[in-house]
A and B are shown apart, each in its own frame.
Chain A
Amino acid sequence: MDPIEGLLHGLEVALTPSNLLAAFIGVAFGTAIGVLPGLGPLAGAALILPFTYTLDPAAAIIMIAGIYYGGMYGGSTTSVLLNVPGETASVVTTIDGYQLTKKGRAGPTLFIMAIGSAIAATISITLLALFTPVLSGFALNFGPAEYFAVMAAGLIVLSRVSGGTLTSNIYPLLLGVMLGTVGQEAVSSAYRFTFGSLELAAGLELAAIAIGLFGIAEIFRLIEDKSGAPRVGRVRVRDMFPSREEWRRSWGPWGRGSGIGFLFGLLPGPSASMSSFASYRAETKFSKHRNELGRGAIEGVAGPEASNNAAATSSMIPVLSLGLPFSATLALILSALMIQGIQPGPQLVSQQPDIFWGVVASMYIGNVMLLILNIPMIGVWVSMLRVPTHLLLTAVLIVALVGAYGATNSMLAVYTLIAAGIVGYFLNKFDFNLAPLILGFVLGPLMEQHLREGLFLSAGDLSYFISRPIPIVIYLSMALVLVLVPLFRLRARRQGLAVAGVDMDEVAKRD
């Protein structure tokens, strides 16, 4: 299928009433969870994951993807209005966004962000539609050695770039891999780490772990937080139109942000957050108005917001073309595919055109919905911030508990959820990153599978894993990144964002 044919087919899939509804629920829920401080798209996707088990596969992926990119829109609303980022990819938006609110330009700022997000996402979706089939065609020849190399290198790079010390990422990563080995093992059907429990034989439930780590643990943090409920002003639609000057100054940052975001999305790690920082940094260098940055320049909002949307979209490329996720939210998408009985991998594009092209087309549609949700209907989300915290938190807790139970109809998921919430709270408190835990849990079993297949194929020759050209290239690029990142960081720290009092490490922590 060429891209045009594919898109037309995708539109047919995405425009069915049930899939339109799935996209709408996804983007609306994504915006809502993005607006709520503390809870990000990851918690949203995890909360909704159990509900997608009964949907058809295309609708399930359309919905979860909607939460992911919808969260990028919602997260920035509170950054601008309250100086409180809704999720980590919007932290950098607070710098100029809140200054603009103080100047009385909140409405136009939200408008510029929404338009920029939609433009960036559209560019990124188009590139995704063009590149994914090519990349997946290339990956069709991948054997165990190549897959193992992509996963191992991806996880190691992720651990290096995700902020904090190396152990702050490696420890949770390995903990996740360990949890992933619990249950009946695929090759020999041996029971591993089940301690005699039949329920454990099926393994631990990803949704329960993810909701625990990113939902329950966050709620503990919110309860602990002493600051009271925020006060928000009104945003009226008629005050939202940007001035000619604001329009003119936004095009450059939108373009740069889209490009930066797309590239960052292809790298393993918290790409949406990292790209928003990179975009801000680019504006401090290339913008004509760079002197105003930090004091309420529209460029400081337009660029980062465009880039985090572009990154959220392009980061789906590795999942859709290789079946390998490198951020925790995408790991949930992968697991949704597997629960639906679909083997993720390079054959997805050609063998499941409904899913691939349906999701691509739904993202175009979803971004149009998001424009409507975020410009004419912005008042709805702002008023959501006035709902008393205790009601909101209780509702989230109860939905999490019942959702975890509903995922498997077993109490084991509820126990897992609570344990993950408590462990997540303490890991978070002492600056361990939680996203690697989810990735380890999802990728661990795949690594074991490819490792064992590779050893079997090569009759036990470990050098098999580094004897082919593609793995060698992958490991060399990994080594390059490992050498370059510390240099880049050092430089960034010297001249970079310390000015604005924002620490990259702190930001990347929970993405």
Chain B
Amino acid sequence: MTVRVATSTPVWNKGRFVIGACGLLLAAIYLWDASSLSMGSLSEPGPQFFPLAVGVAFAASSIAVMLEAPRLRRPGPDAELPRGVQRRNMLIIAGSLVAFALALPLLGFSVTCFVFCAITLRTIGAPSWRLLLLASLILTGAVYVVFDAVLDVPLPTLL
């Protein structure tokens, strides 16, 4: 039988605490926005009735997450946040996702998709430039054919 050694796990505990705190903040915004809705009565509950209950319950669960965070021990090794190259790559990917969302209405599908593919391939795989451009071109073309021609999804275009 394997014996699990309980070790102190700072990153994991801190992370859970932060998630609890974010939840509490979110619950506050949610409840604040819900306060303008009408409550109705118990026999005819209004649109505020359910969200009020859910918001309070979520606030309570967030507080519970924060309170238990320092006391829990993670089974197994501590959680690790990415560092160095890994972190840089992940930030680039996350950034290019956001950039994709912002650029799509402005630049249209083909340009946005091509650039996105090139950046992502370069970040994760770093193949040669020729392969990179070829792969991006094929991916863009394939997605365009599948969505626009086969599935009839009108993709935004530049012109």
Q: Which residues of A line the B interface, CB within 8 A? A: 51, 54, 165, 167, 170-171, 174-175, 177-178, 181, 185, 187-188, 190, 192-193, 195, 216, 219-220, 223-224, 226, 388-391, 393-395, 397-399, 401-403, 405-406, 409, 411, 414-415, 418, 421-422, 426-427, 429-432, 444, 447-448, 451-452, 455-456, 458-460, 462, 498-499, 501, 503, 505-506
Contact = CB atoms under 8 A, between A and B. Distances in A.
Contact of B61 (A170, A390, A415): A170
13 contacts: A171-B65, A174-B54, A175-B58, A192-B34, A193-B30, A193-B34, A389-B124, A399-B143, A411-B101, A429-B81, A431-B12, A431-B74, A455-B43
Interface string B58-69: 100110110010
Given A391-B125, A451-B45, 10 more contacts: A51-B151, A165-B72, A174-B57, A175-B23, A175-B26, A178-B54, A219-B93, A397-B120, A402-B155, A409-B154
A452 B75 contact: no
A414 B82 CA distance: 25
B93 A220 contact: yes
Nearest to A494: B1
Given A188-B38, A503-B76, A459 B105 contact: no
A411 B47 contact: no
Nearest to B156: A405
Interface in B12-71: 12, 15-16, 19-20, 23, 26, 30, 33-34, 37-38, 41-47, 49-51, 54-55, 57-58, 61-62, 64-65, 68
A505 B58 contact: no
B7 interface: no
Contacts of B82: 224
B154 A398 contact: no
B85 to A, nearest CB: 10
A194 to B, nearest CB: 9
Interface of B: 1-2, 12, 15-16, 19-20, 23, 26, 30, 33-34, 37-38, 41-47, 49-51, 54-55, 57-58, 61-62, 64-65, 68, 72, 74-76, 79, 81-82, 86, 89-90, 93-94, 97-98, 100-101, 104-105, 109, 113, 116-117, 120-121, 124-127, 135, 139-140, 143, 147, 151-155
A174 B23 CA distance: 10
Contacts of B120: 390, 393-394, 397
Nearest to A447: B50
Given A54-B152, A190-B38, A223 B124 contact: yes
Given A190-B38, A455-B45, A390 B124 contact: yes
A165 B12 CA distance: 14
Contacts of B86: 223-224, 226
B34 A462 contact: no
Contacts of B45: 451-452, 455-456
Interface centre among A395, A403, A462, A503 (most CB of B within 10 A): A395
Nearest to A452: B45
A365 to B, nearest CB: 24
Contacts of A406: 147, 151, 153
Contacts of B43: 455-456, 458-460
Contacts of A223: 86, 89-90, 93, 124
A51 to B, nearest CB: 6
From A51, A223, A224, A448, name the one whose CB has the most chain B CB atoms within 10 angstroms.
A223
Contact of B50 (A171, A402, A452, A462): A452
Return the 8 tightest CB-CB contacts between A and B, nearest first.
A390-B125, A460-B43, A460-B42, A406-B153, A390-B124, A430-B15, A448-B50, A174-B58
A193 B27 CA distance: 12
A175 to B, nearest CB: 7
Contacts of A170: 61, 64
Contacts of B97: 216, 397, 401, 418, 421
Contacts of A498: 1-2
Contacts of A421: 97
A177 B54 contact: yes
A192 B47 contact: yes
B20 to A, nearest CB: 8
B71 to A, nearest CB: 10
A178 B93 contact: no
Contacts of B109: 402
A427 B104 contact: no
B42 to A, nearest CB: 3
A170 B109 CA distance: 39
